[in-house]
Amino acid sequence: MPQTQTGEPIIRIEAVDKWFDGFHVLRNINLSVRGSEKLVICGPSGSGKSTLIRCLCRLERHQRGRIVVDGFELNDETRNLAAVRSEVGMVFQSFNLFPHLSVLQNLTLAPIRVRGMAPKDAEALAMELLERVRIPEQARKYPAQLSGGQQQRVAIARSLAMRPRIMLFDEPTSALDPEMINEVLEVMEGLAREGMTMLCVTHEMGFARRVADTMVFMDHGEIVESGPPARFFEQPATERCRAFLSQILSH
Amino acid sequence: MRTFPLRCAPVLLVASLAAGCGGGYTWGWYVVSPWASKGQGNIAFLLSGLGWTVALAACAIAVSVVLGLLVALMGLSRNRLASGANRVYVEALRSIPMLVMVLWVFYGLPVVIGLKLDVFSAGVIALALCDSAFEAEIFRAGIQSIDRGQHEAADTLGLGFADKMRFIILPQAIRRVLPPLGNQFVYMLKTSSLVSVIGLAELTRKANELVVTEYRPLEIYTALIFEYLVLILVVSWGVRRLERKMAAADYRPA
């Protein structure tokens, strides 16, 4: 169910190239994302899809081209970097919760230290977000005491606590046992319904069909194909995309 | 019962010494016996050095931890100048024998930079400098052992470098390096005895002074061994307690 989207792109990626040592991992990437748009990026492993979204919060640096997020160009300007990072939330495959902090502290640390929020307000916000990901009763526990699905939901809530305008998901369900995948996808679908701008790298094609406005297929560091999911799944334009889809949809 | 052999050791030592298994030597334990009036006076004299030893080690540990942490962070910096400075600092200070450092700080600094130090400050500086190089390596190893994902999560939340280190990386790193760090504290407590050579009236100095008046070095140095043993057991106990306390904070089974 596509949302109404604002016209101006919130993310603009123009002619971006990136190399890891000699390896050309992103090749001439051009992509723009409008506010509230949901983008699902898929492709075989090593195709550069994770690297691409990691570039959007500058966990990786691109070497050529321009990336503009919410009006700020990502470059060596540290002021731009801070501005972008406070607008962009990131969810990792391996959760990366802080193991020495309670669930509640995981959520309140950044709002208090980065946003300057009063601890009481930060806790109220954290509890509200934990309700939203449906685990308020785990607030006092430590990450190691939670299941994988619960940990990933805490990680999503932790990102949301910074009130980002854009959420990036890097294979958020790939490290989960099968029975825990749905609880995480449901939270993500809820976010999508509320109009969050989302970029997800995932192999969950059912989720992609339900949520995506735009599908992007990457291979060998290039965007091979992109378009609305209906066309993407029914009539992929390229042979490479067709082969990939038939492989991952067959099981 | 892991501590059993440790508790046994001093008993065995005393027993064998008291039995006179050292050949023809006649022991004169009266000099440090708590049941002889002379011994009581001497024990009080020996223990009067305790305050200085404890103060010296505590101050040197505090200073060396701060220095070591700063040097470790420099070593982890991408800045070539900072990481180069870290290498020079660690290699240079690690190679200076502690005794030479004590002498050099006390007698050398006044000559070279006109800085005249009292024996206590000179001792603290010498011990702290030498140990900070080792602690820097311990901290660096601890910080590097933290998963990259922790840095990335902190970065994407917008935490600055100082906040990331203070709230995320260091609490986890320090927990991991507590055992080698505790080791270093014990080592420092022992090597504080070297500061006796410049005249600080700590435990070893007091023992030396008593030896000169009593002519009973074996008995007095044996007493000195027990003084250090007790101090170090206290430190070990404290570090273990800290380890348990910090370990309890996470990985509690559900």
What distance in Å separates the CA atoms of residue A151 and residue B45, rounded to the nearest whole number? 60
With an 8 Å Cβ cutoff, is A55 touching chain B?
no
Mean pLDDT over A85-101 rounds to 94
Instruction: Determine the angle formed by the axes of helices A148-160 and A119-132, rounding to 10 degrees.
Output: 130
What distance in Å separates the CA atoms of residue B18 and residue B27, rounded to the nearest whole number? 7
Ranges A144-148, B8-12, B33-37, B119-123: which has the least confidence: B8-12
- pLDDT per residue as tens digits for the range A140-188: 999 999 999 999 999 999 999 999 999 999 999 999 999 999 999 999 9
CB contact under 8 A, B250 and A88: no
Domains of chain B: 50-203+238-247 (1.10.3720.10)
CB contact under 8 A, B249 and A86: no
Between chain A and chain B, how many beta carbons pairs sit less than 8 Å apart? Answer: 75
Q: What is the pLDDT of residue B245?
A: 85
What distance in Å separates the CA atoms of residue B170 and residue B165, rounded to the nearest whole number? 5
Ranges A61-65, A135-139, B9-13, B144-148: which has the least confidence: B9-13
Higher pLDDT, A149 or B8: A149
- pLDDT per residue as tens digits for the range A159-170: 999 999 999 999
Average pLDDT, chain B: 89
State yes or no: pLDDT of B251 exceeds 70: no
Q: What is the pLDDT of residue B16?
A: 61
> What single string gives the DSSP state of each residue in B156-201?
HTT--HHHIIIIIIHHHHHHHHHHHHHHHHHHHHHHGGGGGGGT--
Q: What residues contact residue B232 under an 8 Å CB cut-off, 6+ apart? A: B186, B189, B190
Mean pLDDT over B214-234 rounds to 93
Cβ burial B200-213 (10 Å sphere, 16+ → b, else e) = bbbbbbbbbbbbee
CA angle at A161 for the pair A158 and A162, rounded to the nearest 5°: 110
Q: What are phi and psi of A214, to 5 degrees?
A: -135, 135
Please check whether residue A39 is in contact with residue A14, taking contact to mean a CB–CB distance below 8 angstroms: no
H or E element in which residue A90 lies: strand A88-91
Mean pLDDT over B27-35 rounds to 88
Q: What is the pLDDT of residue A22?
A: 87
Ranges A28-32, A243-247, B20-24, B76-80: which has the least confidence: B20-24
What distance in Å separates the CA atoms of residue B220 and residue B227, rounded to the nearest whole number? 11
Q: What is the pLDDT of residue B15?
A: 60
What distance in Å separates the CA atoms of residue B128 and residue A171, rounded to the nearest whole number? 48
Chain-centre distance of CA B18, in angstroms?
Answer: 31
Chain A: closest CA distance from residue B238 (Å): 21
Mutation test of the interface with chain B: which of A56, A96, A105, A156, choosing the one with the most B Cβ atoms within 10 A? A96
- pLDDT per residue as tens digits for the range B157-206: 999 999 999 999 999 999 999 999 999 999 999 999 999 999 999 999 99
- pLDDT per residue as tens digits for the range A207-229: 999 999 999 999 999 999 999 99
Higher pLDDT, B5 or B238: B238
SS3 A81: helix
Q: DSSP state, B26?
A: P
What distance in Å separates the CA atoms of residue B184 and residue B94, rounded to the nearest whole number? 13
How large a percentage of chain A has pLDDT more than 70? 97
Query: B246: pLDDT confidence band, cut at 50, 70 and 90?
Result: confident
CB contact under 8 A, B163 and A113: yes
Contacts of B158 in chain A (CB under 8 A): 82, 85-86, 110, 114, 162
Q: What is the pLDDT of residue A1?
A: 41
State yes or no: pLDDT of B22 exceeds 90: no
With an 8 Å Cβ cutoff, is B172 touching chain A?
yes
With an 8 Å Cβ cutoff, is B167 touching chain A?
yes
User: Which among B155, B210, B237, B221 is positioned nearest to B13, based on CA atoms?
Assistant: B221
- HSE, CB side, 13 Å, CA atoms: give it for residue B200: 26
What distance in Å separates the CA atoms of residue B194 and residue B187, rounded to the nearest whole number? 12
CB contact under 8 A, B250 and A99: yes
A214-219 vs A38-42, strand pairing mode: parallel
Facing A94 at nearest CB: one of B149, B163, B253:
B149
Query: B5: pLDDT confidence band, cut at 50, 70 and 90?
Result: low
CB contact under 8 A, A85 and B157: yes
Contacts of B167 in chain A (CB under 8 A): 101, 109, 113
Give the global pTM.
0.85
State yes or no: pLDDT of B253 exceeds 80: no
Query: B7: pLDDT confidence band, cut at 50, 70 and 90?
Result: low
State yes or no: pLDDT of A76 exceeds 80: yes
Q: What is the pLDDT of residue B1?
A: 43
SS3 B18: helix
What distance in Å separates the CA atoms of residue A147 and residue A180, rounded to the nearest whole number? 8
State yes or no: pLDDT of A45 exceeds 80: yes
Residue of B nearest to A116 (CA): B159
Instruction: Determine the angle formed by the axes of helices B50-76 and B80-94, rounding to 10 degrees.
Output: 150
Q: What are phi and psi of A11, to 5 degrees?
A: -130, 130
Average pLDDT, chain A: 92
Q: What is the pLDDT of residue B114?
A: 87
State yes or no: pLDDT of B103 exceeds 70: yes
